[in-house]
Amino acid sequence: METTRTKTRDIARSAVRGELAQVALNLFRRESFEKATFDDLAAAAGVSRSTFLRYFGTKEEVVLGILDPLGDQMTDALRARPADEDDWTALRRALDPAVEYFSRKPADTLALLRLVQATPALCTRLREKQVSWRPDLADGLTERSIFTGTSPLAAHVRVAAALDCLTIALEHWVDTDGRFALGTITDEAFAVFAAR
């Protein structure tokens, strides 16, 4: 019974976070990330400042907190790849959860990415988030070394390169206003290294 109550509470908390984040994103687009304060965010959401702060500790978290699950999802996807698959292909497929997430609502995602690109604090925080995904992904790649012979150093380098391919694909996707499928752009970015 306690587990059901906890899950229900977690679902409710996640829903409230999502609603607050959407209100904040709309305000950030209208006003600017730098100008909007927590008081402004709370007022726009119709809650108290303390309530808003209960869900988000920083403005960066309001924008980028939605990406938190991607690290685990990509690591799980990597660990699920066939053991005899080459590392680079496995890493490309491991990014599918991120590509699918960003592609789900293209207009919203493009607006979010434009906000991030226009805001140095968000660029920095997104980079920190990507760096935090590296160790688990590298561990997942190293675990495959029984079959591929990948050293821990090589795993870290390949993971860093894969995440940079995703970053550049996202930037290109924004630059082209989402005219091309993000998955296709990501494949093209990966192909640059595969061809060498």
Cβ-Cβ contacts under 8 Å for 10 (sequence gap 6 or more): none
CA distance 156 to 133: 11
Query: CB neighbours (10 Å) of residue 80?
Result: 11
Tokens of 115: 């906000």
Tokens of 50: 């303390």
Q: In the chain, which residues fall in CATH 1.10.357.10? A: 66-194
pLDDT for 42 equals 93
Mean pLDDT on 131-142: 94
Work out the percent of the chain whose per-residue pLDDT is above 70: 94
Q: Is the pLDDT confidence value at 65 over 80? A: yes
pLDDT digits (tens, 9 = 90+) for 137-170: 999 999 887 666 778 899 999 999 999 999 999 9
Mean pLDDT on 101-128: 94
The topology under which CATH files domain 66-194 is Tetracycline Repressor; domain 2 (1.10.357)
What's the DSSP call for residue 75? H
Q: In the chain, which residues fall in CATH 1.10.10.60? A: 2-57
Q: How confident is the model at residue 31 (pLDDT cuts 50, 70, 90)?
A: confident
pLDDT for 160 equals 96
According to CATH, what is the number of the domain 2-57? 1.10.10.60
Residue in the block written with tokens 């070394």:
145
pLDDT for 148 equals 64
CA distance 65 to 21: 9
pLDDT for 9 equals 75
Q: What pTM was computed for the model?
A: 0.86
Contacts 24+ apart (CB under 8 A), 144-152: 144/81, 144/83, 144/87, 144/90, 146/83, 147/83, 147/84, 148/86, 148/87, 150/87
Lowest mean pLDDT among 45-54, 107-116, 149-158: 149-158
